[in-house]
């Protein structure tokens, strides 16, 4: 990784919203824009704009499937890149707001997997308020056992 690319990556991560997005992508791999928007409680267009900045810097890659747009972190296999991914994963462990982002992202994905598109926002709001993390994780595990996959992970 060149000094210019590293500086650009760190500059891009200097924005709170983009840092939160990067943490979610580091934790969950490939995620649909709608899940990211619901997790952060921001409109799709704002999240798409931030993801566009991240894509222009080479930090994320995009995959389109029909009307769905999925983002993932770009290949960061260099030592600096691995250090950045480790930093993002550490943020998840240490910053409570980022853990809540991840819980909301998982709740939206679960709601959509169980009840279809359009159900994510409303159900995730209720689930996020009423359900503790261990219960939510068991719901996610149940979806996987019944072969209901999150849209971001569909083949």
Mean of pLDDT over the chain: 75
Using a pLDDT cut of 90, give the percent of the chain over it: 18
0.75 cut: is pTM over it? no
User: Mean per-residue pLDDT for 75-102?
Assistant: 83
pLDDT at 133 over 80: no
pLDDT at residue 49, rounded to an integer: 94
Closest C-alpha among 69, 32, 29, 41 to residue 128: 41
Which has more confidence, 62 or 140? 62
Which has more confidence, 150 or 49? 49
Level-2 CATH architecture, domain 3-153: Orthogonal Bundle (1.10)
Query: Taking the domains of the chain in order of start, what are their residue ranges?
Result: 3-153
Task: Please give the Cα distance from 125 to 54 (Å, whole number).
Answer: 27
Torsion of CA 100, 111, 63, 81, to 10 degrees: 20
pLDDT at residue 117, rounded to an integer: 61
pLDDT at 104 over 80: yes
User: Mean per-residue pLDDT for 69-87?
Assistant: 85
pLDDT at 21 over 50: yes
């Amino acid at each position: 990784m060149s000094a210019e690319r590293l500086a650009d990556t760190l500059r891009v991560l200097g924005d709170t919203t983009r840092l939160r997005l990067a943490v979610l992508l580091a934790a969950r791999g490939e995620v649909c824009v709608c899940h990211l928007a619901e997790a952060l409680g921001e409109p799709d267009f704002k999240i798409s704009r931030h993801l566009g900045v991240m894509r222009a810097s080479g930090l994320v890659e995009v995959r389109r499937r029909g009307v769905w747009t999925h983002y993932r972190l770009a290949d960061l296999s260099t030592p600096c890149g691995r250090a950045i991914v480790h930093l993002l994963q550490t943020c998840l462990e240490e910053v409570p707001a980022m853990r809540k982002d991840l819980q909301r992202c998982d709740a939206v994905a679960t709601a959509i997997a169980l009840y279809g598109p359009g159900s994510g926002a409303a159900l995730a709001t209720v689930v996020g308020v009423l359900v503790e993390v261990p219960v939510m994780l068991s719901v996610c595990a149940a979806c996987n056992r019944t072969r209901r996959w999150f849209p971001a992970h569909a083949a």
